[in-house]
Amino acid sequence: MVTSTTDELKAMGGVSGPNDQALRARAKAVIPGGMFGHLNMGHMPADYPQFMASGVGARVVDVDGREFVDLMNSWGPVILGHRHPVVEEAAARQAALGDCLNGPSERMVELAERLVGVVSHADWAMFQKNGTDATTLCCTIARAATGHRKILVAKGAYHGAAPWCTPVEAGTTAEDHANLVRYIYNDLESVRAAAQSVAGDLAGILVSPFRHDAGFDQELVDPTFARGLRQLCDETGAALILDDVRCGFRLHFGHSWQPIGVEPDLSAWSKAIANGYALAAVLGNDRYRAPVQTLFTTGSFWCSSVSMAASLATLDVLEREDSVATMVAKGTQLRDGLDAQARHWGYPIRQTGPVQMPYLSFVGDDDRAVGTLFAASALRHGVYLHPRHNWFVSAAMTDADLALALSATDAAFEELREAHVEIGPPAS
Amino acid sequence: MVTSTTDELKAMGGVSGPNDQALRARAKAVIPGGMFGHLNMGHMPADYPQFMASGVGARVVDVDGREFVDLMNSWGPVILGHRHPVVEEAAARQAALGDCLNGPSERMVELAERLVGVVSHADWAMFQKNGTDATTLCCTIARAATGHRKILVAKGAYHGAAPWCTPVEAGTTAEDHANLVRYIYNDLESVRAAAQSVAGDLAGILVSPFRHDAGFDQELVDPTFARGLRQLCDETGAALILDDVRCGFRLHFGHSWQPIGVEPDLSAWSKAIANGYALAAVLGNDRYRAPVQTLFTTGSFWCSSVSMAASLATLDVLEREDSVATMVAKGTQLRDGLDAQARHWGYPIRQTGPVQMPYLSFVGDDDRAVGTLFAASALRHGVYLHPRHNWFVSAAMTDADLALALSATDAAFEELREAHVEIGPPAS
């Protein structure tokens, strides 16, 4: 809820450039609604371009040539920066041999070995294309191993967009969700109650490394909660499934609960593992090796080698350059800078989640109206961020990128102030 | 069932090369069973390499440097030949700009426009990564449009490997398949009975362009059957969904039922549409445009531009070079050659399916034992084909490739004959 005059707010808004507008019109004719999914800008301020042209390092350029410091990084896949030269070179070298063949190449074995070496709980790996493929396969493996049906998932958590897990009910059936039971993140009692409610039919507990629900302040995991899940799985024989699709390799060079010493049985990966190349993975421990061999899942491109070569290169750079530390350092500077700016301009904000996956909200801005104005203004001043979803800091961010990002957010705070934007009481 | 002496048969067999064997051993440690899915060579003759090194045109090379004329083409994705220069150049040009960004590029609009122009029933397009994504989304759209749950599918048909459709039950639940009702391909009465059994709750009918079940002689569609499905959908308001994942652009430059004049409401595409780059698509007509906008499905890489640039180039070449005609011509020569060889060596065979998606079986060889020996021998003589799954002829096949393929199959027939292999009566 924003308190300001309509004219002042209107004056703040813009629209994306003429090339973007022209493409939106063409898209509307041949794509339902002009776009779909999480990259649909239909619910974002009109300033946001729907169509992008290019990216390099921490910068992206839209189809009208507007360049932005990128704080979304393709919603997670880009971790080392766009078109990282080491990754691109590895991908091109593999592409010159072959990508999708009658079998995998040596890259698959190398990558499985590498992941097993890096991720503490993993004894084996399998590969897919989508994060949803990986979370789905984890559930299937848990069911095959236990002979049980029920999977516990946190209320509000996002684990993909297949009918069993999409947050929107349209087109799905009651049967699609029949085997999910909800618990509250970080509330061990709610998990125990959920497990009890399906005692004898519990296959697994699916959990994110931290609570990163879109539209809400983020919540780090309580290590006691994580340990409690592990214990509950040990007691019941259920699989502990860590959905590391969004966080994987951003929080730790390994799975995201390694630092707190809690080992899942299965983990789901995608997004950043190949720096933007389409790849997903399921990692598991030896208890689940035999059950995997009883099931059948596959895809036409699951053995393609270019994305695996890209992943191997990505892992090399992540390790060699200690990219997690870089992202933490840059994320900390970003958070500190934003805090100082908010204080300076007199806007109460909350920054939650890990610094390398920042989430910013304005206190009292329940409908995200102020946050949305802020994001649109920041975009116009040169930084691409999001008002209702966590951001992603890449390891490519230079001091110059950070300075530009902070100068854009400072200008956005100033613009809010000059337009007399106040966070008003909610409409009643 | 093979009638021969064990020694003679043993003498026929080989194993894959030392590099392949070494990689298999390494893979066994870090991938359950050493491999998964349809590219798992665990159930193929030991001659077949599990790991491939490269491909160009109609030839593939395994990790031991053995070169084969490729009659599988990555199980469908490769239609113009491996690393087709026009496709590779378009992909590289796009990769130099960007692939996975904060939004799609202009390529998505161009590709949607192109597909709508080429595929007669299509008014719009959406893009995914896996064929299974596309078939799943078609079902979801049909349900969103009708408010009904049930999807009719042909007994034995393959529509993907997610829990709702995988042919192997392990790890799936009764709820996963609760909304499928089976009919018999080409048996309209069975479809009408299935529809009647769920009257009032019918969302869609899912059907392949022809019956291409693995392990069985293939069966072309009866146009009367196809027209009957269309009529049934018109009567009931259910969506007619054509699963063109495997056949798309191999049978016709357009959807596979265009030549018989039956228009689906929705169609699922993947495999060959980008000549090996990971891409899938759902095409639909205007009746389904609004329902699509009520649902939410997405993936981290669904907007990536390189595969779309590759698809645009693939479509250009397919159209310009009339590649379907090329595949038909080469497929016909292959079929005729195999028929002549089988007659010459005295083996009764059946060749079914479209000539560009050939399927070969030995008459009476119910357990495919002779077919498997034949495939292994043909492989050793330089052609990569499959004893239990349809093959895929690419448009890259030259006269020299065809001659080499046929000389390999001729040698395989001869080898069977010299080892006194006869198709015996089934064990009882």
In the DSSP assignment, the letter for residue A211 is B
CA atoms within 13 A on the CB side of A213: 15
Cα–Cα distance, B299 to B133 (Å, whole number): 10
Residue B278 is nearest to which of A26, A50, A301, comparing CB atoms? A301
What is the dihedral sign for C-alpha A164, A168, A173, A178? positive
Residue B109 is nearest to which of A23, A56, A278, comparing CB atoms? A23
The per-residue pLDDT for range A299-343, each reduced to its tens digit, is: 999 999 999 999 999 999 999 999 999 999 999 999 999 999 999
**pTM to 2 decimal places:** 0.97
In the DSSP assignment, the letter for residue A178 is T
Chunked mean pLDDT (size 10), chain A, 428 residues: 61 87 98 97 95 98 98 98 98 98 98 98 98 98 98 98 96 97 98 98 98 94 98 98 98 98 98 98 98 97 98 98 98 98 98 98 95 97 97 98 98 96 71
Q: Which tokens hold the place of A196?
A: 């009890």
**A105 vs B63: CB contact, 8 Å cut-off?**
yes
The per-residue pLDDT for range A180-239, each reduced to its tens digit, is: 999 999 999 999 999 999 999 999 999 999 999 998 999 999 999 999 999 999 999 999
pLDDT score of B256 more than 90? yes
Distances (CA, A) of A376 to A9, A112, B68, B204: 11, 42, 56, 42
Residue of B nearest to A146 (CA): B171
Q: If contacts are CB pairs under 8 Å, which of residues 343-372 in chain B contact chain A?
A: none
In the DSSP assignment, the letter for residue A356 is T
pLDDT score of B217 more than 70? yes
B403 touching chain A per CB within 8 A = no
What is the dihedral sign for C-alpha B284, B290, B294, B300? positive
Cα–Cα distance, B29 to B160 (Å, whole number): 27
Q: How far is A28 from chain B (nearest CA, A)?
A: 9
**A75 vs B102: CB contact, 8 Å cut-off?**
yes
Q: How far is B163 from chain A (nearest CA, A)?
A: 7
Residue A77 is nearest to which of B172, B298, B301, comparing CB atoms? B301
Q: Are A339 and A409 in contact (CB under 8 A)?
A: no
Residue of A nearest to B26 (CA): A109
Q: If contacts are CB pairs under 8 Å, which of residues 232-251 in chain A contact chain B?
A: 245
Of A10 and B64, more confident? B64
Residue B55 is nearest to which of A101, A170, A295, comparing CB atoms? A101
Q: What is the pLDDT of residue A48?
A: 97
- Nearest CA among A359, A375, A393, A324 for reference residue A213: A359
Best of A100, A303, A311 to substitute, by most chain B Cβ atoms within 10 angstroms, is: A100
**B299 vs A170: CB contact, 8 Å cut-off?**
no
A contacts of B163 (beta carbons < 8 Å): 136, 139-140, 164
Q: If contacts are CB pairs under 8 Å, which of residues 257-286 in chain A contact chain B?
A: 270-271, 276-278, 284
Residue B74 is nearest to which of A35, A100, A109, comparing CB atoms? A100
Cα–Cα distance, A394 to B121 (Å, whole number): 43
Residue whose tokens read 């390799």: A249
**A113 vs B301: CB contact, 8 Å cut-off?**
no
Q: What is the pLDDT of residue A1?
A: 57
pLDDT score of B428 more than 90? no
B contacts of A49 (beta carbons < 8 Å): 103
Specify which residues B355 forms β-bridges with.
none
**B129 vs A170: CB contact, 8 Å cut-off?**
no
Q: How far is A409 from chain B (nearest CA, A)?
A: 19
Q: If contacts are CB pairs under 8 Å, which of residues 83-102 in chain B contact chain A?
A: 83, 88, 91-92, 95-102
Q: Are A206 and A245 in contact (CB under 8 A)?
A: no
Specify which residues B283 forms β-bridges with.
B125, B267
Q: Which tokens hold the place of A327?
A: 């992202």
Q: Are A58 and A383 in contact (CB under 8 A)?
A: no
Average pLDDT over every residue of B394-412: 98
Supply the angle between the helices A323-345 and A399-418 in degrees, to the nearest 10.
20
Q: What is the pLDDT of residue A6?
A: 55
Q: If contacts are CB pairs under 8 Å, which of residues 130-149 in chain B contact chain A?
A: 130-133, 136, 139-144, 149
The per-residue pLDDT for range B76-119, each reduced to its tens digit, is: 999 999 999 999 999 999 999 999 999 999 999 999 999 999 99
B77 touching chain A per CB within 8 A = yes
Domains and CATH numbers, chain A: 104-320 (3.40.640.10)
pLDDT score of B9 more than 90? no
- Confidence band, pLDDT 50/70/90 cuts, at residue B14: confident
Pairing of strands B383-384, B202-207: unpaired
Q: What is the pLDDT of residue A5?
A: 56
**A168 vs B295: CB contact, 8 Å cut-off?**
yes
**B83 vs A60: CB contact, 8 Å cut-off?**
no
Q: What is the pLDDT of residue A14?
A: 86
Q: How far is B338 from chain A (nearest CA, A)?
A: 22
Q: What is the pLDDT of residue B425?
A: 66
